Structure 1
Amino acid sequence: MDELEMNFEAAINGMQDMKPGEIRTVKIVAVDKEGVVVDLGMKSEGFIPIEEFGQRGVPGDFVSEKEIQVVFTGSRMDGYYLVSYNQARQKFAWAKLKSSYDGNEAVSGTIVKKIKGGFIVDIGIDAFLPMSQVDTKSIDSLNELLNRDIKVLITELNNKNKSAVVSHKRISDIERKNNAAKILSTIKVGDIIEGTVSKLADFGAFIDIGGGVEGLAHISDLSWHRIDKASEAVHAGDKIKIKVLAIDNEKGKISLGFKQLLPHPWDNIEKKYPIGALVKGKVTSLVDFGAFVELEPGIEGLVHVSELSWKEKIGHPKKLLKSGESYEFKVLDVNRQQGKLSLSLKRTQGNPWEELKKKYPSGTKLKVKVTKLAPFGIFVNIEDNLEGLIPLMDISWTKRIHHPEQVVSVGKEIDAVLLEVKPEEERAQLSIKHLTPDPFEKYSTGNIVKGEVNKIFDFGITIKLESNLEGFVHKNEISREKDTDPKVLFKLGQEVEAKVIRADRKTRKIDLSVRKLELELEKELVKKYSNMPNPSLGQVLEEKD
């Protein structure tokens, strides 16, 4: 038998020693871009194609002489026997992985490579760890994960192609939840604990209070004064004391406070900023209704838009103030309980309404300009943009006015009498009707008046006493005779004398009586002539006339 025949026979015998599906420990001979060559202990070597390693690629520790386990496939390629590294791994690992998957148990693995959308994790087979399932809270950089041993939970296991998807985040969440439950059982609202600032966000700071359990200190609970960023109060890595503000056991959330352990800037606020004190402050923001002013960090007051100017009606504070600029203000009110401090810009100067009151006593006649008409009255400029009001009821003594536009127009100069100035309310009341005496004074109850009949009704007559002023005589008060007809006794334009029996200043109504006047005159005549000896008929008739 020649040498060629002997080699062929040995090769055949070697093949007979290995059966397809058999696992064998082999040594690596070489690694190149095509794959891995292994020593099968036979004339022909084994070969693991590069495609078998997938996205992971050939493991970094695959070097010459390293022993690995492979599955003999029985196939040949380019003079090599094809063997499978993955099948060998799967045969050893699959049963255990299936048990862990079914039992929702964690498995250990090593992150071996970063790929698009995630990582490859060696858990006995190459599993895919999506980027969304990486617990980024426990690491500072994703690069730190390479070659790192981690615990993962198998979320998908495909028996057909022997693939798996795993989650690092779900394991971390479970551990964190368990840790949170333990920690939550040991703390209560109001406790002061220690922690480390783990991360900053726009809305606050996350603080690790142990065991990977984090609480949140909202930005409003980091400082007594207004801050725009959490970094203005704390920094990542700071070890701080905090107060437990709230605990949500169901959600495992803890609310923490940092400022609550700092002195409150409003302590003794009434002594620091007494009412009436002049203070300097910086405008921090301007809004439609006023300006917020910082007197010192943590102490902010409000200047209402009505407290900006004595003489002008300011629509928006930006007309007088600039954000970031400092001004002098007067303290109007301090409320420690509500955390409110009211300021005034205009009251740093004298009150012009006080000067107006001194300059023009009540009853002073003024020439004023109409600035605005309203259903309830007339607004007028008295002087220097100080406005007063003429109420609708003070326009006329006798005429019923439904709207000021019946008598005046905007821009018109008119005469008026100043009735009252209230400096504390920044108001002044004026009157047009007080330019003349109240005609009602002449029509007090009991007075005798004369007028012309201007209206005749079945139930009585009205008598025009003067311009825009009438009196009413009910039919029962027309005559001593009963069931008299007003239309028979009177004519339009007829002059009538009567007695005032009722005068109501508020309603401006005057009730008259001809009957009572006649009775009164008769009584006077009887009284007069009862004392005279035998008065003549002519004298009596003459008195009646």
Structure 2
Amino acid sequence: MALRGRNMENGENMDTNEELKKYLESENVGTPEVGETRKCTVISSGTDFVVVDLLAKTEGIIGKKDLVRDPTSYRPGDLINAVVINYKGEEEGGRTYLSEKKFVIPNLLKELKTSMEEKKPVKGHITKKVRGGYSVEIEGALLAFLPGSQASALNNLSTSDMMNKEFDFEIINFEERNNGNNIVLSLDSLMGKKTEQFLEGIQVGQKISGTVKDITDFGIFVDVGQMTALLPKSEVSWERDQNLKNKFHPGDKIEAVVISKDPINKKMSISSKRLSEDPWEKIEEQYPIGTVIDAVVDSIKPYGILVRTGNGIKGLVRSSDIFWGNYKRNLKDYFQEDQNVRVEVTEIDKAKKRISFSIKDVNGDPWEGIEDRYHVDEVIDTKVEKILDNGVILGISEGVSGFAHISELSWNFVKRPGDLFKKNQNVKAQIIEISPETRRMKLSVKRLLDDIWADLSKNVKIGTPVECEIINIKNSGAIVRVANYNVEGFLPKSQFYDGIKPGDTFSAKIHKISYNPALDERDMVVTIKDENAEVPNRKKENHEPHEIHEENFTAQGPMRTTIGDMVNKKREE
């Protein structure tokens, strides 16, 4: 018989069956027997089993569940001690099945018992979570139980980190049983001892480095090696009101200094801000009042914006210190977080750690020297900032805006400024008044348009029928819209009818047109009936020329024209 992988000693031939039998017995060669231990050499490995040479008539197979490692980790030539667990003769295919675990377990049980008695740690891998704790595999051969009450050190670990890491355990209970061994482990007792030793060697004030494990609203948990330390939110930076989850992420490296330790409760607190000096200690020297510095927008509030400086100082820029003039604006239309801004230091309260800044003071008051940059009658480019019921606010430059009254928007009748203009619309306007003291500028849009009253005064005749609408009623008459020409007119009180009210429409005739652009007079008076006729349901009145009072008119054409009439009447008298 040829012996695979072996040569006869000294090349001698075995001539007798007796000698052959003795040789096979001495080399453990021959038909395998169940329960027999064999020295095997790995021939090949797969994902589910390993093929070995066991010096027998057939090759052996060790299945995945009978190996102490993953099958793919075995290499050809590796030596394995294994126990035969099944043999099938040639009539059944000639296969031998072995178990490496059955060889390892008896020796391992002895080692574990000794380790428990001598309180030595054993190494193992957590395989899965089970009821009440975890299943732990020791040297790939034995399963032990880790109670959840003894595994608090795993609370902050992810499942993947837990399964891929080898841990040291302490055996707290060991029982050999026929129906299975009872091995109970503890992770906390061993970790606790290591943590105590670690804390004993750490000094308050000592620098330490670690890795971010978890981030909460109250601080950051940092893995510093033998334990997890807490970095309180208040100790992260000299900045206040930080969003830790935006600034830090698990896995980030952190440098810090130990600020407290508690060996009994196995706790330690660290600080990263104390690696640098408190910037508030020398705040007045670093940022004297009036200093202009670069800052970054930290957050936007209804009352202003919070900005931070390069050394962790955070301060407030109030809305009133952002814009010149009207500061009641939506700040989010002008600023965004992390935007760079230049600010001027205006106030410092070192005791309360508060500092205030101004943005508007950096560039100076835009109304200073306003009359040197802008002049009455000048035509300028503007943008609609706000639309009001009585006019529009037009932006001229940063911090400078003007007001165009409804009477200065068009030569036609304007009921609502919003019918003519939209926000952010570009508009050309003419300056009609500048008041640096009150920081106001009056503008006109209509004076850049063709004056329709010039044509009306030439082409519209007295007595022309028109359609009108009551806009407003005063003591001496009513302001009306003359629909035919879309201009404002006046209906004297003597022409009122019973139940007259705003919104009424009626037919009338033009009684008078006045146009004198030099005196800014533009007026149209309408009548409903013959002034010499009886007024229905009303006592006959004295039909002297109707005296027009100033309160009868708005700021548009009729009011100014009527005042002119009053002056002329006085001259005639």
TM-score (norm: length of structure 1): 0.50
Q: Identity, % of aligned pairs?
A: 18
1 CA distance for matches of 2:395 and 2:362? 22
Q: CA deviation at 1:243?
A: 0.6
Unmatched 5+ stretches in structure 2: 1-106, 128-134, 533-538, 548-573
Q: CA deviation at 1:331?
A: 0.8
CA contact (8 A) 1:280 1:328 kept: yes
CA contact (8 A) 1:242 1:257 kept: yes
**What is the 5 A alignment of 1:48-67?**
49=146, 52=151, 53-57=153-157
Structure-2 residue corresponding to 1:208: 308
2 CA distance for matches of 1:129 and 1:265? 48
Structure-2 residue corresponding to 1:254: 355
Structure-2 residue corresponding to 1:279: 380
Structure-2 residue corresponding to 1:148: 254
Q: 1:15 to 1:234 in 2, by over 3 A?
A: closer
Paired residues, number: 393
1 CA distance for matches of 2:187 and 2:515? 105
CA contact (8 A) 1:377 1:404 kept: no
**What is the 5 A alignment of 1:318-357?**
318-349=418-449
Structure-2 residue corresponding to 1:179: 278
Q: CA deviation at 1:127?
A: 6.8
Structure-1 residue corresponding to 2:508: 413
Counterpart of 1:374, as a letter, is: I
**What is the 5 A alignment of 1:37-116?**
49=146, 52=151, 53-57=153-157, 73-75=172-174, 82-90=184-192, 110-111=210-211, 113-114=213-214
Range 70-79 or range 334-343, more displaced: 70-79
Q: CA deviation at 1:192?
A: 0.7
**What is the 5 A alignment of 1:494-509?**
none
Q: 1:174 to 1:256 in 2, by over 3 A?
A: farther
Structure-2 residue corresponding to 1:292: 393
Counterpart of 2:428, as a letter, is: E
Structure-2 residue corresponding to 1:194: 293
1 CA distance for matches of 2:507 and 2:111? 125
2 CA distance for matches of 1:129 and 1:93? 17
Counterpart of 1:313, as a letter, is: V
2 CA distance for matches of 1:12 and 1:418? 118
Q: CA deviation at 1:237?
A: 8.3
1 CA distance for matches of 2:439 and 2:401? 9
2 CA distance for matches of 1:254 and 1:191? 12
Q: 1:288 to 1:390 in 2, by over 3 A?
A: closer
Q: 1:111 to 1:359 in 2, by over 3 A?
A: same
Q: 1:275 to 1:359 in 2, by over 3 A?
A: farther
Q: 1:404 to 1:154 in 2, by over 3 A?
A: farther
CA contact (8 A) 1:416 1:431 kept: yes
CA contact (8 A) 2:509 2:527 kept: no
Q: 1:386 to 1:281 in 2, by over 3 A?
A: same
Q: CA deviation at 1:330?
A: 1.1
Counterpart of 2:291, as a letter, is: I
Q: CA deviation at 1:312?
A: 0.8
SS at match of 2:418: helix
SS at match of 1:318: helix
SS at match of 2:155: helix
1 CA distance for matches of 2:500 and 2:361? 64
Counterpart of 1:411, as a letter, is: F
Q: 1:175 to 1:216 in 2, by over 3 A?
A: farther
Q: CA deviation at 1:294?
A: 3.4
2 CA distance for matches of 1:36 and 1:134? 40
SS at match of 2:506: coil
Q: CA deviation at 1:346?
A: 1.2
CA contact (8 A) 2:508 2:528 kept: no
Tell me the alpha carbon deviations over residues 279-307 of structure 1, each in whole angstroms, 9 at most, x when there is no partner. Answer: 23333554444333333455433323332
2 CA distance for matches of 1:196 and 1:249? 19
Range 229-238 or range 369-378, more displaced: 229-238
State whether structure 2 residue 406 is matched by structure 1 residue 313: no
Tell me the alpha carbon deviations over residues 341-365 of structure 1, each in whole angstroms, 9 at most, x when there is no partner. Answer: 32111122466668989999xxx98
1 CA distance for matches of 2:475 and 2:387? 33
2 CA distance for matches of 1:55 and 1:16? 25
1 CA distance for matches of 2:257 and 2:377? 67
2 CA distance for matches of 1:381 and 1:16? 105
2 CA distance for matches of 1:232 and 1:419? 48
Range 243-252 or range 340-349, more displaced: 243-252
Structure-1 residue corresponding to 2:59: none
Structure-2 residue corresponding to 1:400: none
CA contact (8 A) 1:197 1:234 kept: no
Q: CA deviation at 1:274?
A: 0.9
Q: 1:303 to 1:187 in 2, by over 3 A?
A: farther
1 CA distance for matches of 2:334 and 2:114? 76
Unmatched 5+ stretches in structure 1: 1-6, 19-23, 39-43, 397-402, 437-465, 470-505, 507-545
Structure-1 residue corresponding to 2:473: 374
1 CA distance for matches of 2:393 and 2:372? 21
Q: CA deviation at 1:415?
A: 7.8
Q: CA RMSD in A?
A: 6.3
Q: CA deviation at 1:265?
A: 4.2
**Higher gyration radius (CA):** 1
1 CA distance for matches of 2:449 and 2:116? 113
SS at match of 1:260: helix
Tell me the alpha carbon deviations over residues 442-464 of structure 1, each in whole angstroms, 9 at most, x when there is no partner. Answer: xxxxxxxxxxxxxxxxxxxxxxx
CA contact (8 A) 2:291 2:345 kept: yes
SS at match of 2:192: helix
2 CA distance for matches of 1:232 and 1:375? 44
SS at match of 1:347: helix
Structure-1 residue corresponding to 2:130: none
